[in-house]
Structure 1
Amino acid sequence: MKKDIYILKKQFFELADQYEKLAKNLVEALKILLTEINVGYLTIDYRIKSFDSFLKKIERKKFDSPFEQIEDICGIRIICYYRSDIEKICEIISKEFQILESEDKEELLDENEFGYRSHHFIIKVKDEWLSTPNYRDFGKLKAEVQIRTNLMHTWAEIEHKLEYKRDDDIPVKFKRKFSRISAMLEEADEQFEELRAEISKYRQEMLFNVMEENFNLMESDQINMDTLQVFMDYFFKGQEKNTRLTSELVSELKQLQLSIGDLKEYYDLCNQYLESVEFDTMQHFDDNYKWYQVSSLRTMLELCSKEYYEKFGIRKDMKEIIKKYRNIMKQGDNENKSTDSATLLTRKNESKE
């Protein structure tokens, strides 16, 4: 028996490095695939089963060909935010990988049951992937992929800590509380899904109204994440969004008590220069420098709002460029004033004649 375990252990650790490489490559591929379909995720991580756990499973299941029969030596977990995203993730996995098994754990629960909810796949790399250097040694290896929302994950982790694996394991006195907690988490998942849909609809309607009314409906609105995002989607629609940077800017603008109308006024003042500022900036920095919607909005504030740049300053890497265009704007303003004065003087002279 000891000899058999020694041989098994040797085989296991010979394969462990391959499973580790497979896991890292799959995680990287999944991150790219989910980004391409615009699905956010909290984490995508992996674990390689320990030899002790591997051995216990062999003994428990009475496996005689464990490396073929145990399919979760490599385990990958995707934790997303919304239930509807699980379906999108399942679709992309089904499209990009060879599916050996697919199981929705929630469908196994009766209507009055609580418990573990997650979608599981057993996958292999498709044959066409095996021709690339990163995947050529993984043709026989399998991986388990679990997909769940953050709240499903919370339930699974707490359930694991409490050491109740099945409904029958739980004492009757605790069953009602378990059921209530499970129902609340499931309800919260559904409420977050509904809230996301309502927010999306609200933003789309606001943007539609803005386009129809040319911002007349929003000019007195105070700034928040939604009004600011609609403003940027309207004026900087071709540029990339960044929620974290937008949130930071909302906080700054609230301190100045600015309205959407104030931003519209600044935009009208400097719109003709924004594209040139972006071009000069991208020429000055390397290819990794990103220009977001918020970048244009900050540029607009730094060029036009004395209150903004006195309170928050100008971005260090932008000082010279902003200074250059503020001078250009000032010269243009002086020329316009001179032109207006000359026109007024001409009109006065003409009226005297």
Structure 2
Amino acid sequence: MTATSEQLKIQHQDNANRAERLRDAVVVQLQALLDKHELTLGVPIESRVKTWASIEEKLQRKGAKLENIFSLEDLIGVRVIFLFRSDLDLAIKMVTDHFEIHSAEDTSDRLGESEFGYQSQHFVVRLPSQWLSLPSLTGLGDFVIELQLRTLAQHIWAAASHKLQYKQETGVPPPLRRAITRVSALLEIVDLEFERVLEERRKYVEENQANASDDEPLNVDNIASILASLLPANNRKDGEHYADLLPDLIAFKVDTRKKLTEIITRHKSKIMQSDSEHLARRKRENEPVTERDARGVFFAHIGLAREALRMEFGSKKVSDVMARNRKS
């Protein structure tokens, strides 16, 4: 039975807060899954609950009919934008593994081989039953959620084509088609070139670990590799900013693999003792328990490397260099 506009409006008002609660919970769960799988976002997760004004306009424009507000597939929308195409591919599997899929579409399937247009992965999902058993999600199983997954390059195209209203080739004035086709091709090349950079970086890291010279100058990749080989894996933090550590090392002429390795090795027992002491202090002072506290660590790899610098060159000198580098 088709609901009237007034009935849908009342249903929207009655369920808007529940929809917002579900939106917030889905974003939290998605972010946890992305962190677990170490997938790189291009921008923070975007989400919204559709307003009644937007719903009403869409129904009028498309002449659509709904049985109830819960049959509106994009009432709750979440968009995840990835920096790399390979992360998008992994995210598609992640979604299919963790959500109940109501429908799925790769919008590029709408395009012919010589056509350009909007590209994105669209899913309409429900929460799995095990999630709905959580107190924070109880009673939210009547909603569906629209998930959109795309790369940053695809998102640039989506945003620009929405503004220009050039969503497909047929909508583009003939004099502009060559220019807009070049833009579409360039954005696809961006995705492909990023993937090539990732692959070349992976090969470099693998070869570097096996064949690197002691005198090789430090860079962000071999710093990460050196610290990973010398320090406990439990201390490592996702997304460590090795680029921030590099100028601190260079300031003290710790500029080769050999020099960094020697300093870490020389002070390893002391920096691990410092890690334990900082953790014990947090417990004594009853500071809020963090995820790292639960893992029994205080410093990340970069923090341990800076502790080694302090022990080698003095705490004040290291603090002064860090302050100076942060200003530059």
TM range (shorter): 0.7 to 0.9
The equivalences for 1:175-214 within 5 A come to 175-209=177-211
Using the TM superposition, give the Cα deviation of residue 22 of structure 1 relative to its aligned residue in structure 2, in angstroms.
Answer: 1.0
- Identify if the C-alpha distance between structure 1 residues 176 and 69 changes in structure 2 by more than 3 Å, giving closer, same or farther: farther
Using the TM superposition, give the Cα deviation of residue 68 of structure 1 relative to its aligned residue in structure 2, in angstroms.
Answer: 4.8
Instruction: Tell me which residue corresponds to 1:342.
Output: none
Give the whole-Å Cα distance in 2 for the aligned partners of 1:185 and 1:30: 26
Give the whole-Å Cα distance in 2 for the aligned partners of 1:167 and 1:268: 61
Q: Does the 8 A contact of 1:242 with 1:292 survive in 2?
A: no
* 1:323-348 residue CA offsets vs partner (Å, 9 max, x unmatched): xxxxxxxxxxxxxxxxxxxxxxxxxx
Instruction: Tell me which residue corresponds to 2:303.
Output: 295
2:82 is the counterpart of 1:80: yes
The equivalences for 1:266-285 within 5 A come to 266-285=263-282
Question: What value does the CA root-mean-square deviation take over the aligned residues?
Answer: 2.3
Instruction: Tell me which residue corresponds to 1:144.
Output: 146
The worse-fitting range, judged by mean Cα deviation, of 60-69 and 106-115 is 60-69
Segments of 5+ residues of structure 2 without an aligned counterpart are 324-328
Give the whole-Å Cα distance in 1 for the aligned partners of 2:280 and 2:46: 37
Q: Does the 8 A contact of 1:266 with 1:305 survive in 2?
A: no
Instruction: Tell me which residue corresponds to 2:99.
Output: 97
Instruction: Tell me which residue corresponds to 1:24.
Output: 24
Give the whole-Å Cα distance in 2 for the aligned partners of 1:254 and 1:315: 11
Aligned to 2:44, what secondary structure does the other structure show? strand
Using the TM superposition, give the Cα deviation of residue 172 of structure 1 relative to its aligned residue in structure 2, in angstroms.
Answer: 0.7
Instruction: Tell me which residue corresponds to 2:326.
Output: none
Give the whole-Å Cα distance in 2 for the aligned partners of 1:309 and 1:205: 37
Using the TM superposition, give the Cα deviation of residue 309 of structure 1 relative to its aligned residue in structure 2, in angstroms.
Answer: 4.6
Instruction: Tell me which residue corresponds to 1:52.
Output: 53
Aligned to 1:253, what secondary structure does the other structure show? helix
The amino acid that maps onto 2:54 is S
Using the TM superposition, give the Cα deviation of residue 117 of structure 1 relative to its aligned residue in structure 2, in angstroms.
Answer: 0.9
Give the whole-Å Cα distance in 1 for the aligned partners of 2:260 and 2:110: 54
Instruction: Tell me which residue corresponds to 2:225.
Output: 230
Aligned length in residues: 306
2:139 is the counterpart of 1:131: no
Aligned to 2:135, what secondary structure does the other structure show? coil
- Identify if the C-alpha distance between structure 1 residues 245 and 87 changes in structure 2 by more than 3 Å, giving closer, same or farther: closer
Give the whole-Å Cα distance in 1 for the aligned partners of 2:168 and 2:224: 46
- Identify if the C-alpha distance between structure 1 residues 256 and 96 changes in structure 2 by more than 3 Å, giving closer, same or farther: same
Segments of 5+ residues of structure 1 without an aligned counterpart are 211-216, 317-353
Using the TM superposition, give the Cα deviation of residue 70 of structure 1 relative to its aligned residue in structure 2, in angstroms.
Answer: 2.3
Using the TM superposition, give the Cα deviation of residue 279 of structure 1 relative to its aligned residue in structure 2, in angstroms.
Answer: 1.4
The amino acid that maps onto 1:304 is E
Q: Does the 8 A contact of 1:242 with 1:294 survive in 2?
A: no
2:37 is the counterpart of 1:37: yes
Q: Does the 8 A contact of 2:11 with 2:69 survive in 1?
A: no
Higher relative contact order (CA 8 A, sep 6+): 2
Aligned to 1:152, what secondary structure does the other structure show? helix
* 1:273-292 residue CA offsets vs partner (Å, 9 max, x unmatched): 22222211221224436421
TM-score using structure 2 length: 0.86
Aligned to 2:86, what secondary structure does the other structure show? helix
2:242 pairs, out of 240, 246, 252, with 246
